[in-house]
Amino acid sequence: MTVQRFEQAFRGVLDEIEQRASVAGRFVDKDLYRIYLATLWANIALDPSEAGLADDDLEGLHDYLNGALAKVLGQDQTLSDCFRFIETKPGEVAMERCRLTKTHRELLQYFCSLILDPEGHRRWAERVGSKTTRSRDVSSED
């Protein structure tokens, strides 16, 4: 997909996110904006086809979103920084202010692990997978 196609497909969503994070006119609550952007990315990455994308569109969309969020958060900010923020105490407070459900928080924390510590995430997934396999083996013996 081209930048123009990403702009067509996601400009409305980005405008809505900015509006929801606005506190007074053009002032944006950057903490809320980070949470909304991280949520957008997590949902698209989970199922790109739901957004009309193919898996190979994700890299281009990632770059497009980084450009869009830099205009609001600053040139040195990226999607990864949004997930880094979520892992902080101010991120926890912002999620509380947003009244995120437990499932929503878990989704964002899952992506924090996946994005910020891919090796640790892989090891965790392997441990969880082996525990699930062992519990199936035990229950099938009954």
Q: What is the pLDDT along the chain (142 residues), one digit of tens a residue?
A: 788 889 999 999 999 999 999 988 779 999 999 999 999 999 999 999 999 999 999 999 999 999 999 999 999 999 999 999 999 999 999 999 999 999 999 999 988 988 887 676 677 667 766 665 554 454 445 4
> What is the reported pLDDT for 138?
44
What are the φ and ψ backbone dihedral angles of 73, each rounded to 5 degrees?
-95, -20
Specify the pLDDT at position 114: 85
What residues contact residue 57 under an 8 Å CB cut-off, 6+ apart?
1, 48
pLDDT value of residue 126: 74
Question: Could you tell me the pTM of the whole model?
Answer: 0.80
pLDDT of residue 37: 96
117 close to 63: Cβ distance less than 8 angstroms: no
**pLDDT number for residue 131:** 61
Q: Which residue pairs, CB below 8 angstroms and at least 24 apart, start in 55-59?
A: 57/1
**Element housing 51 (H / E):** none
Q: pLDDT value at position 16?
A: 94
Amino acid at 65: L
